[in-house]
Amino acid sequence: MKTYNSFKDIDNDLKKLDLERQIAWEELKLVKEEFKEDLQPLNWVNTALKIAGKMGGYMLLKKIIK
């Protein structure tokens, strides 16, 4: 446990902890927004189209090689 020598030290630590809490809260809100964007249907469609394109290219290449 930390020992404080003055009220100024306590105030400084409280301000520091409050700023750390605010930063953590903002980071959490950012993660929430990114997660929300990842779950949007348009992103799922784009991902599915990319996968389908890769698979189609692979199958076409496989047929050409045979």
What domain count does the chain have?
1
pLDDT at 57 over 90: no
- Please check whether residue 2 lies inside any domain of the structure: no
pLDDT at 61 over 90: no
- Phi, psi (rounded to 5 degrees) for 3: -105, 130
Would you place residue 9 in the very low, low, confident or very high pLDDT band (cuts 50, 70, 90)? very high
- pLDDT tens digits, one per residue of 13-28: 999 999 999 999 999 9
- Please check whether residue 33 lies inside any domain of the structure: yes
**Residue the block writes with tokens 């009220």:** 7
- Please check whether residue 16 lies inside any domain of the structure: yes
- Please check whether residue 22 lies inside any domain of the structure: yes
Domain that holds residue 36: 7-65
- Please check whether residue 28 lies inside any domain of the structure: yes
| CA atoms of 37 and 32, how far apart (whole Å) | 9
- Please check whether residue 23 lies inside any domain of the structure: yes
- Please check whether residue 1 lies inside any domain of the structure: no
Contact 43, 37 (CB under 8 A): yes
- pLDDT, residue 65, reads 84
How far apart, in Å, are the Cα atoms of 13 and each of 2, 19, 24, 62? 10, 10, 16, 65
**Residue the block writes with tokens 């105030």:** 11
- Please check whether residue 53 lies inside any domain of the structure: yes
- pLDDT, residue 19, reads 98
